[in-house]
Structure 1
């Protein structure tokens, strides 16, 4: 009987150790999820932003309307937004970007939205097409590389091919007076 009691106690102790280790793994996974959310554009990690005063690299891309877009299109102040489907921060910031872009000086001609992913997400393409040109490209596509967009969402104002403002939060973009398109 004593041997059986020792075996049961040993199995119970092993189960408790396993439970403690599993809880530790779960805690680590939650911590990593929070960190990944920060990197995906909640505004906590600004190392992924192009600094104001830096030039945008050369790029060419075709928007969803079949119009070719390039660095040459960015002579006048242009609002550029980067989104990706399945991004909680992008989903959260989309309405404020649409409101801001809807009043951006120059109207639709001065707004460029880039949606990462092969499909580009119908919701994003449809909503963003109301306020500007939309480019859909694969993750880490040529427009994302040209602007240095590594976290989503990312918002920039560009004049003459040079970044004047960059942020992960629309609220940090410069104020502008409403000018009809």
Structure 2
């Protein structure tokens, strides 16, 4: 009986070795494409940024507000050239992480602060540090709570909300992270 058991175990081991070698051979031949029975383009993963404000192609609403300097601001702010927009709120961890990156990008944005809008939502006292950071590189608006005129016009749903707005107030791209602004529209 022991000779039979040893022979059977040896046969199973050899069969396992042959099957493993076949699997390895097939894996080496696999070129990363799906089988020939389907279209390889069908398997491409498309990333869609989260919807935190109006999406690409949508128009901003009309609004009237005031900057922290007391200057009037409205939809005409978006009439002249592409505008970088960022909306942040107090008490938001993700906003704290994105704000320095946004400020750095805003400092290098074509047209400077005249083409950058930063919306800060919350208590003005809590936002004072953010205002000081953004004021040299952006036109800053503070609204006491969600649903203010600028936030409504931008269609802000969550924070942080970032966008590139084309002349005439049409959103070119939007998302929660800077890289969302530079995704290829054909891919989204």
TM-score by length of 2: 0.66
Per-residue CA distance 1:40-65 (angstroms, 9 max, x = gap): xxxx9823331101000001110011
The structure where helix makes up a greater share of residues is 1
Specify the alignment match of 1:165 in structure 2. 173
CA distance in 1, matches of 2:160, 2:84: 13
- When the two chains are superposed, the root-mean-square deviation of aligned CA atoms in Å is 1.8
Per-residue CA distance 1:102-124 (angstroms, 9 max, x = gap): 11111111001010013161111
Specify the alignment match of 1:63 in structure 2. 67
Q: Secondary structure at the match of 2:153?
A: helix
Specify the alignment match of 1:116 in structure 2. 121
CA distance in 2, matches of 1:91, 1:109: 23
Larger radius of gyration: 2
Specify the alignment match of 2:93 in structure 1. 88
- Per the alignment, do residues 155 and 109 of structure 1 end up closer, same or farther by CA in structure 2, a change over 3 Å counting? same
Q: Secondary structure at the match of 2:165?
A: strand
Q: Which runs of 4+ in 1 moved over 6 A?
A: none
Contact 1:85 1:124 survives alignment (8 Å) = no
Aligned residues: 132
TM-score by length of 1: 0.69
CA distance in 1, matches of 2:78, 2:61: 12
The counterpart of 2:162, out of the listed 140, 155, 168, is 155
Structure 2 spans left out of the alignment, 5+ residues: 1-47, 184-188
Specify the alignment match of 2:42 in structure 1. none
> What is the 5 A alignment of 1:96-135?
96-119=101-124, 121-135=127-141
